[in-house]
Structure 1
Amino acid sequence: MSYGATGKSALVVTSGVFHHCLVLRLEGELDVDAVPLLREHLRRAWELPATPFMIIDLSEVAFCDSVGMSELVSVLQRCEQRGTRLLLGGVQGVVSRVLSITGLRNAFDVYDDFDDAVRYAMTA
Structure 2
Amino acid sequence: MTDYDTSRSGDVAKEETGNLIAASKVEGTNVYNTQGESLGSIYDVMIGKRSGQVAYAVMSFGGFLGMGNSYHPVPWQMLEYDERQGGYVVDLDRDRLEDAPYFDEGTTPDWSSPEYGRGIDEYYGVTRSTM
Structure number, greater radius of gyration: 2
Q: In proportion to residue count, which structure has more helix?
A: 1
Instruction: Please classify the TM superposition score into its range, dividing by the shorter chain length.
Output: under 0.3
Q: In proportion to residue count, which structure has more strand?
A: 1
Q: Give TM-score, length-normalised by structure 1.
A: 0.26
- If asked which structure has higher relative contact order (CA below 8 Å, sep 6+), I would say 1
